[in-house]
Structure 1
Amino acid sequence: MATYLYRLGRYCFRRRRAVLAVWIAVLIAVCGAAGAFAGKTSDEFKVPGTEAQATLDRIKDTFPAQGHGSAQVVFAAPAGGGIAAPDAAKAVGASVERIAHVPGVAAVPDPYATGAVSPDGRVAIALVSFDHKLAEVTDQQREAVRAAAEPARAAGLDVAFGGDAYNRMAKVEGGSESIGVVVAGAVLVITLGTLVAAGLPLLTALAGVGVAMAGLLALTGSFEIITTAPVLALMVGLAVGIDYALFILFRHRRHLDEGLEPEEAAARATATAGSAVVFAGLTVVVALAGLAVAGVPFLTVMGLAASGAVVVAVLVAITLLPAVLGFVGRGIDRLPLWKRAPAANGGTTMGERWARFVVRRPLPVLLLGLTGLGVLAAPAASLDLGLPGGGSQAVGTDARKAYDLVSDSFGPGFNAPLVVVVDAHDAPNPEQAVQTVAGRLQTLEGVRTLLPPTVDRASGTALVPVIPTTGPDHADTRALVNEIRDQRAALRSATGASVAVTGTTAANIDVSTKLDQALPPFVAVIAGIALVLLALAFRSILVPLKAVLGFLLSIAASLGAVVAVYQWGWLDGFIDVPKVGPVVSFVPILLIGVLFGLAMDYELFLVSGMKEQHVHGKAPREAVVGGVKGGARVVTAAALIMVSVFGAFVLGDDPIVQPIGFALAVGVLVDAFVVRMALVPAAMALFGRAAWWFPRSLGKVVPKVDMEGEELMARLAEEKREAKEPAGV
């Protein structure tokens, strides 16, 4: 691999104008495609095959409104009983009538006629049904519904808008991520010492992110892409784009310090550090694409979107960066902010001092690190999963205001309605069957009330709305859904009717259950991939096993922190958590996929340095010190950059993006500074020469990956020797 990348790096350096022109053309082309073909992203977390989704698909022709978008318009009077006052009732009625005339609104029943008035007479709910799917509800229609409620606002009533149509998620707005870029820039300046050197990783990373994001947006017109996918692609693409460029740039400057010409330095950096970048990028892509194992389409789309961003980041790092280095030449150290000692001087660094401390006390460091990670991971045993809704939105938003008004005035269960579908077409007496089922449902623990059923006599099917006593993310609501499903056999025996549960709440519960069940096989697949790739990279047995165990420790610690903050409410006030409750159901599996690849970055960079020292004859512990000394600074900078990029997303208030950013920031922090910089050197020191043992039988069949550039250096030395021979003859 190193030989091919060496040639590629040299070619891009020499043909820098052509390479730059190609990337500019690609950027312009994908931006044009985004402008021409971009469509809308989806806010629906649909999972085909779950009972709720299958039931909804089955009844969509009989009850088409069940598959359409809906919203709540919540009217609240300043005092109890005020919503029924003549002036308030008139204003609500006028608003409802105007909403009914908004294009795309199919129905909006009068809340007084349907009894949708709270017991204290303060709040009324108008349920708005659109005549098309939620994904097709436009922002213009949402704003038109808002504007139509003006009579109620003019009468002094509070009006809030909630429901599926207003629970908007995960928008890329540029605020928090720009903070991450600024912090990353500061880390680069401190690490590299000059504005020119610090600017190169930012420049190339932003170029890569621009290409990836524009390409993804261009696909939204042809494919259903969940709204969270572009945000994840931006988050991951920006972080790895900066880090990959930093790895290569760091090696390039080292070669310059050794006296190489810029072209040769860039070619060798692309060959060696570039090999680690390609391998690390491959692991990230494989892990993210592996999200398809869960069998959840929107999660697969998120994984593929982020994978695309990583592929672009790798291509930029091994082509555009060498080209830019060709333009910069020896001017990479221009605009210095502090005097940098060349790496060739070989002074004692902080990384070397830390490594020597660890290898002198490997067992205490290992035990202390494992204890700390165990404490941090302990809350993960209480992990509870769910999907966000109106109650997860930030306090002060319209959707959260509507959710809280309904919950406080009607009860939390009115935000978690279940739809029980009774198919009685085979029953001896369909009407009696529906009544019997409804009567049985009313007796179940956890049911607050039943709303009047909707019956289609032609098909013998009825929809029975069930209002739980608890909210959508409460364990008792999940228990109620399971209880209704457990009653199906008995109900069919008693009435001849089949029963199924659907609706948004049931669908979210099914998605969370499916994702929870997908975690063990996904972890097994990821662990297997890691073992194979690392065995291929290092030709070792113990190194891959150690790496996988370290990765699992990082995952457990990160999930423990997420549970403590987002489920238990620790650090409330320090981190502005929209609502304490179940963790977003796809955060664990997404964390595993993303963090696996990122963790392998640091593993590859550090351990490849240790192997390089070992290959050159260093004693095992000295090889560990040498590897840490060579990689500590760049790994530290890379980790801080990733933490700053991911952590910036915690500053937002999106209920999905915020915990994802927090989980990744904690995961990278723990993996880089505890696992890779402490536990890995300690374990390698304890392993000694056994760390590099590899069975001969496997060595014959496993292809050799020249990540450290041994074969390349040997070939270059041979070419140099051959070039001198004619002169000496």
Structure 2
Amino acid sequence: MVALAGITFASQAVGSDYHNDHTMPGTESQQVADMFQGRESVDTIQVVAEGDLAKFPAVLDKLRGLPHVATVGEPQAGDGIAFATVALDAKGVPVEDVRRVIDTAQSTDLRVELGGELVRGAEETAGGGAEGAGMLAALVILVLMFGSLLAAGLPLITAVFAVGTTVGIIILASHLVDLPDYAPPVMILVGLGVGVDYALLIFARYRSELLAGRDRDTAATRALDTAGRSVLFAGATVIIALLGLLALGLGSLQGLALAVTLTVLLTLVASLTLLPALLSLLGKRIEKAVRRRAHKPHGDRWRAWAAGIQRRPWPALVLAVAALAALSLPALGMRLGFADAGTEASSSTSRQAYDLLAKGFGPGFNGPLVVVARGEQQPGLPQVLADTPGVAKVLPPQQTPNGTVVMLYPTSAPQDEATHDLVTRLRTDVLPTLSGSTFLVGGATAAADDYAEAVSDRLPLFVLVVVGLSALLLMVVFRSILIPLKAAVLNLLSIGAAMGVVTLVFGDGLFGVQSGPVEAFVPVLIFAIVFGLSMDYEVFLLSRMHEEWRRTGDAAHAVREGMAGTGGVITAAAAIMIVVFGAFLFSPDRMLQQFGLGLAVAVLLDAVVIRCLIVPAVMRLFGSAAWWLPRPLVRRLPRVALEHA
């Protein structure tokens, strides 16, 4: 608690210094961006008007003299639409001053909307509350599970401590390393889910030991020596997956990976240190609450469910795998990119400004492309570009020290598939026909394409390394060949199904959601986190099965008792994660919405389809072979026990 107070005080005194770094060194779009680096040292806001445009200058006059407003540009008129650019006097202007500009620009004489990254950020900051809603829902689930507000509060206290400490550390660290401004909500999202999950698994084992007749000290010791080991292993798997993101070399994603890794690490520390301390302080009162519910049946329904699956394993297995495979299919058509104001809520001023600019100046006005020619003069370049299908307008070329620069506007919006096709056409078909120069294509759509291509190129190796290391750890722990193979395949299936749902909702516009690309780094993050979380449930369930297998030697009995001992806890833990992650669907940030949906769906499928249907069916079909390991490996692999009988 002293650490939390000290870090919080220091972070509030220093403040944050977040920086979004989506650079991709070596790509065409990045080379173009580097040429113009430093030319725009301040942030800008676009003020867009529709209606009686003669009154627009009066609106702009109101903005002059506001805090941080440096200059207000002259209005530019289109088809019934006009806009002006407001330049601020610095980067990182406080949100309050941005909102003051938004409020001051409003007029009763004509329609005025404002756009730009600062405006989008101010609107997103004005939303929120997802964390609180998720925590409240988690508390309700825990109270229903344990029947005591005190017992339900322990996992939440542990999670809040870990998350609060991590946020303070990350605020301080933002002055030393590049961390994106979306790091805190992602950290809170993961930290709350993982923190409650880990603490719940340990506390649930503590409760079961009390119900078995053991005293408080013995129950706490056995809970840490069993569930604590499982949590430690599962957390290590998440950390390995997250650290693997560093090898991708994807700008801000590296800083985000470090931030989330630190979050998981501190939740582990809190679950293994703070939670036992709380159990020691409050153990007597908790024991009374636990023993009041001792008469209730424990695990009978899960035992019966497992027995039913064991009687007919093939139908359950085929049906579940087919469902996951069907949900995974849309992910094959996933289009990666970066969201812009065109994917914001239709009620937001940034989205309405975007739509007005598209109405007055054409859809491509919101995402111009830049072509740079290095080498010989290319007097015919503007005409070649103008004759290219998909190009609406080409501006006069400009001669710069870096070469000839030509800006063009597509006929389609930045997020449109046609704009992506235009970038590809320019790079592969149009510009290579011109000799004597080297050509580069940049702009927002080109940068998104380059980033998505980099993710796609590096993802297979990342997946292979994470899956391979996790499978190796499972092999060492459970002394088995089949179990790690099963875990790897099932985890990939659940992640694929989750990404399929994300594609359906955000890519195809299911349920009326604005369609557009999936944020380029969301699939990578979801894979890293979900793979680790899936291992969490895998280890917790299989540890109990392994414990019974070593005690009885009966594979079928081990499956039933493993389900009986962990089914309720895994379901409760999954329900908490689902409500915490799902609460971020109400965030105004589209990236957080995608992230929350992907994690919530993955956990739901893992807990319901995989743990309740596939695992008992597969373990029944494996029989005793599930715990088989070739003799050469038996001698060479170290022995690491998670569960002690």
Change (3 A) 1:140 1:265: closer
Which residue of 59, 72, 77 corresponds with 1:117? 77
SS at match of 1:555: helix
Q: 1:71 aligns with which of 45, 70, 82?
A: 45
**Shift of residue 629, structure 1, vs aligned partner:** 0.8
Question: What 5-or-longer segments of structure 2 have no aligned partner?
Answer: none
Is the contact made by 1:562 and 1:659 (CA closer than 8 Å) also made in structure 2? yes
Deviation at 1:193, TM superposition (A): 1.8
Q: Answer with 1 or 2: which has the greater Rg.
A: 1
1:684 aligned onto 2:619:
yes
1:34 lines up with 2:34 in the alignment: no
After superposition, the C-alpha distances for 1:19-77 in whole angstroms (9 at most, x for unaligned) are xxxxx11101211221122223235533333321222213436xx13x65333211111
- Equivalent pair of 1:195/1:335 in contact (CA under 8 Å): no
Q: CA–CA distance in 2 between the matches of 1:339 and 1:141?
A: 56
Residue pair 1:202, 1:242 contacting (<8 A) in 2 also: yes
The Cα shift of 1:635 comes to: 0.5
Aligned to 1:668: 603
Q: 1:598 aligns with which of 499, 520, 533?
A: 533
Q: Is the contact between residue 16 and residue 175 of structure 2 (CA under 8 Å) also seen in structure 1?
A: yes
Structure 2 Cα separation of the partners of residues 643 and 347 of structure 1: 24
Partner residue of 2:28?
51
- The residue that corresponds to 1:697 in the other structure is 632
Task: Report 1:129-208 matches (<5 A).
Answer: 129=87, 136-139=92-95, 142-143=98-99, 145-146=101-102, 149=105, 153=107, 156-168=109-121, 171=125, 175-208=129-162
What is the deviation of 1:703? 1.5
Give me the whole-angstrom Cα distance separating, in 2, the residues matched to 1:172 and 1:538.
Answer: 49
Deviation (angstroms), 1:446: 0.7
Helix, strand or coil for the counterpart of 2:552?
coil
Distance 1:626 1:100 in 2: 72
SS in structure 2 at match of 1:75: strand
Instruction: Tell me, in whole angstroms, the C-alpha distance in 2 between the residues paired with 1:652 and 1:441.
Output: 41
CA distance in 2: counterparts of 1:490 and 1:469, whole angstroms: 22
1: CA distance between counterparts of 2:46 and 2:557? 67
Q: Once superposed, what is the RMSD of the aligned Cα atoms?
A: 2.4
One-letter amino acid of the structure 1 residue matched with residue 531 of structure 2: F
* CA distance, structure 2, for counterparts of residue 256 and residue 271 of structure 1: 15
What TM-score, normalized by structure 2, do the two folds share?
Answer: 0.94
CA distance 1:157–1:331, change in 2 (3 Å):
same
Of 206, 209, 213 in structure 2, the residue corresponding to residue 259 of structure 1 is: 213
CA distance in 2 between partners of 1:601 and 1:33 (Å):
34
Distance 2:371 2:529 in 1: 38
Return the match for 2:409 from 443, 448, 467: 467
CA apart distance, 1:145: 4.3
User: Is residue 394–residue 654 contact of structure 1 (8 Å, CA) maintained in 2?
Assistant: no
Once residues 166 and 183 of structure 2 are traced to their aligned partners in structure 1, the CA distance between those partners, rounded to angstroms, is: 12
> Aligned equivalents of 1:655 and 1:347: distance in 2?
42
Question: 2:338 maps to which residue?
Answer: 387
Q: Does the aligned pair in 1 maintain the 2:499–2:598 contact within 8 Å?
A: yes
Any unmatched runs of 5+ in structure 1? Answer: 1-23, 711-729
Matching residue within 441, 444, 450 for 2:388: 444
1:185, CA displacement in angstroms?
0.9
Q: What is residue 517 of structure 1 aligned with on the other side?
A: 457
Q: TM-score, normalised by structure 1?
A: 0.84
Counterpart in the other structure of 1:126: 84
Are the aligned partners of 1:123 and 1:405 in contact in 2 as well (CA < 8 Å)? yes
Q: Give 1:708 shift.
A: 0.7
> Relative to structure 1, is the Cα distance of residues 99 and 439 closer, same or farther in structure 2, using a 3 angstrom cutoff?
farther
Residue 543 (structure 1) aligns with: 483
* CA–CA distance in structure 2, aligned partners of residues 97 and 223 of structure 1: 40
Q: Determine if contact 2:124/2:588 at 8 Å carries over to the other structure.
A: no
Match of 2:293 in 1: 340
1:222 Cα deviation after fit: 3.0
> 1:364-389: CA deviations, max 9, x gaps?
11111112212222222221122111
Out of 316, 320, 323, which is 2:274 matched to? 320
Q: Structure 1 residue 506 and structure 2 residue 446: aligned?
A: yes
Would you say the 8 A contact 2:20–2:178 is kept in 1? no
Change (3 A) 1:35 1:454: same
Q: Provide closer, same or farther for how the CA distance between residues 347 and 131 of structure 1 changes in structure 2, counting only shifts above 3 A.
A: closer
In structure 2, distance between residues paired with 1:308 and 1:46: 24
Separation of aligned partners in 2, 1:590 and 1:552 = 14
Deviation string for 1:602-631 (max 9, x for gaps)?
100111111111101241111111111111
Aligned pair count? 644
Structure 1 residues 422, 607: closer, same or farther in 2, change over 3 A? Answer: same
- AA aligned to 1:71 is I
Would you say the 8 A contact 1:170–1:228 is kept in 2?
no
State how far apart, in whole Å, the 2-side matches of 1:200 and 1:646 are: 20
Q: Which moved more, 1:536-545 or 1:48-57?
A: 48-57
